């Protein structure tokens, strides 16, 4: 254990630093020293330690300041206080606030060796218990994410590995693949599960309101700000902030988000005081952010801050083996909700489901099953309960051959796009936001294409 354990020693007496460094290095420990509270905090922010040994009284603060820093930055680090006899009461107070133990000057080397060894034993036991609890929670929470395919097993494994990490997570994948469910599973499987899980859909909130939603505002900051309001960063303090469709953030707000992540501080709109909130960022996008960075639509420094650990979500077409499981899950869910006696799908209907491409992924499959359960007359979903799109041959681009007189490529592609948008709207009952998800684009992009192609509010093409 000692060959892997790391100790941070913080003491304003250089002789004490050197003594403890020499002693614990000779015992096989890795040792880092600091001479004041500020330097000790910087080490805690930039590195991980198993044990912190700190003097109580120092010129720029006290060991209690470092204890509080450990609780904020590295809760698993065991804290041991070094105190003079006159400060014993402070050391006892520190133990009540979470320190592991204390030693009183002057002390014997065997005494501090024993205290450190006991601290490491407790840390090891605590870590093992936490790992086992996390594994059990992960198994329980992951039941809401259906899948037995190899690609989904990799996703489940990643969720378990990152649940207790402080690193930011970027979940990538097409619309409808279950990115928010994975974000929730990460939160609920980790040590922040008792704290808030706050969702921000960056594509759904108007640009002029998004900064206030994220960071809050003070009274009078803008017209209508009749009172101060906490932002979602503050609401999520101690928990997880899920930034869905993060690729839709406007560039000016990307700068402010980067500062909030780097400095762990932000300002309310119209405010002058820095606010602090300890949140873990989980972001999701259906865009290729690397391409957005290359085109200048997304900041490179923010991309690397968000993408510390990436969890790619596979599209449904890459895990067709999961379709029968998903169908069974959704049938059970909607049969109960709709009061139907449906128990599954017949063979022909299942073949149609397995043969369809599902551009809207799991979300589209859920909509299809909900519709089929509602329309079913017997105990099994039959083909006539499936939407027309599943019963037609795969769509092909029109005009696969070029006639001698040539083609108008822009007009051809525009007509094809119109057809897809009409079909998506028909499948989603005219709800544009759901149709956008079915086509794998953001609602903002759908609205732009809608207007560009000359649709009116009824869905008729003005220019068609």
More confident residue, 420 or 255: 255
What predicted TM-score, i.e. pTM, was given to this entire model?
0.59
Domain 316-394 is of which CATH architecture? Orthogonal Bundle (1.10)
Give yes or no on whether 6-129 and 401-464 have one common fold. no
| Average pLDDT value for residue range 139-161 | 79
What is the pLDDT averaged over residues 281-288?
A: 94
Give the N- to C-terminal CA distance of the chain in Å, as an integer: 73
What tokens were used for 242? 């899920």
- Of 186-200, 250-264, 284-298, 380-394, give the lowest mean pLDDT range: 380-394
SS3 403: coil
Q: What is the mean pLDDT of the chain?
A: 85
Please give the average per-residue pLDDT across 450-459, as a whole number.
66
Rounded CA separation 100/77 (Å) = 10
Of 46 and 70, the one with more pLDDT: 70
Kindly indicate whether the domain formed by 6-129 is annotated with CATH number 3.30.365.10. no
Residue bearing tokens 């402080």: 166
Residue 88's contacts (CB-CB under 8 Å, 6 or more residues apart) are 102, 104
Domain boundaries, the chain: 6-129, 145-314, 316-394, 401-464
CB neighbour class for 41 (10 Å; exposed up to 12, middle 13-18, buried from 19):
buried
126 C-beta neighbours (distance < 10 Å), count: 12
Q: Which of 2-6, 246-250, 448-452 has the highest mean pLDDT?
A: 246-250
The set of long-range contacts for 346-351, using a CB threshold of 8 Å and a minimum separation of 24, is: 346/380, 346/381, 346/382, 346/383, 348/382, 348/383, 349/380, 349/381, 349/382, 349/383, 349/385, 349/386, 350/324
Count of other CB atoms within 10 angstroms of residue 32: 14
CATH 3.30.2130.10 for domain 145-314, yes or no, is: no
Determine the topology of domain 401-464 in CATH. Answer: Arc Repressor Mutant, subunit A (1.10.10)
| pLDDT single digits (tens) 331-356 | 999 999 999 999 999 999 999 998 88
What pLDDT digit, counting tens, does each position of 393-438 carry?
554 555 456 777 777 777 777 777 887 887 777 777 677 877 887 7
Q: What is the pLDDT of residues 189-248, one digit of tens each?
A: 888 888 999 999 998 888 888 888 899 888 887 877 778 888 899 999 899 999 999 999
**Comparison of pLDDT for 73 and 87, the residue scoring more:** 73
């Amino acid at each position: 254990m000692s060959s892997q354990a790391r100790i941070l020693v913080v003491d304003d007496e250089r002789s004490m630093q050197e003594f403890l460094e020499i002693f614990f290095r000779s015992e096989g420990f890795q040792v880092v020293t600091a001479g004041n509270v500020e330097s000790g905090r910087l080490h805690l922010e930039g590195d991980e330690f198993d044990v912190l040994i700190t003097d109580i009284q120092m010129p720029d603060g006290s060991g209690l300041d470092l204890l509080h820093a450990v609780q904020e930055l590295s809760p698993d680090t065991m804290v041991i206080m070094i105190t003079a006899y006159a400060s014993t009461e402070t050391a006892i107070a520190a133990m009540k606030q979470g320190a592991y133990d204390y030693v009183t000057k002057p002390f014997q080397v065997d005494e501090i060796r024993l205290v450190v060894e006991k601290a490491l034993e407790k840390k090891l036991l605590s870590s093992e218990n936490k790992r086992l609890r996390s594994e059990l929670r992960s198994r329980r929470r992951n039941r809401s994410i259906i899948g037995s395919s190899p690609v989904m097993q990799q996703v489940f494994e990643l969720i378990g590995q990152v649940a207790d990490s402080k690193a930011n997570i970027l979940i990538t994948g097409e619309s409808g693949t279950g990115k928010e469910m994975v974000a929730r599973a990460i939160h609920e499987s980790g040590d922040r599960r008792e704290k808030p899980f706050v969702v921000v859909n960056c594509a759904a909130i108007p640009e002029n309101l998004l900064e206030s939603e994220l960071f809050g505002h003070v009274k009078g900051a803008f017209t209508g700000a009749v009172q101060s309001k906490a932002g979602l960063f503050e609401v999520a303090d101690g928990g997880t902030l899920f930034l869905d469709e993060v690729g839709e953030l406007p560039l000016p707000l990307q700068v402010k988000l980067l500062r909030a992540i780097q400095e762990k501080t932000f300002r309310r709109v119209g405010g002058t005081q820095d606010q602090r909130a300890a949140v873990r960022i989980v972001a999701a996008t259906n865009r290729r952010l690397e391409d957005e960075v290359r085109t200048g639509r997304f900041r490179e420094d923010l991309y690397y801050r968000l993408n510390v650990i990436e969890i790619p979500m596979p599209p449904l077409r890459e895990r067709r083996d999961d379709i029968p499981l998903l169908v069974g899950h959704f049938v059970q869910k909607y049969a109960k909700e709709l009061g139907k006696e449906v128990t599954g799908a017949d063979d022909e209907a299942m073949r149609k489901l397995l043969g369809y491409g599902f551009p809207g992924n799991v979300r589209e499959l859920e909509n299809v099953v909900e519709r089929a359960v509602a329309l079913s007359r017997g105990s099994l979903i039959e083909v006539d309960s499936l939407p027309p799109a599943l019963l037609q041959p795969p769509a092909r681009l029109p005009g696969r051959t070029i006639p001698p007189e040539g083609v108008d490529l822009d007009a051809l592609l525009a007509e094809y796009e119109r057809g897809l948008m009409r079909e998506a709207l028909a499948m989603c009952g005219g709800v544009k936001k759901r149709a956008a998800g079915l086509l794998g684009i953001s609602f903002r992009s759908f609205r732009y294409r809608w207007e560009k192609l000359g649709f009116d509010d009824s869905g008729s093409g003005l220019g068609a």
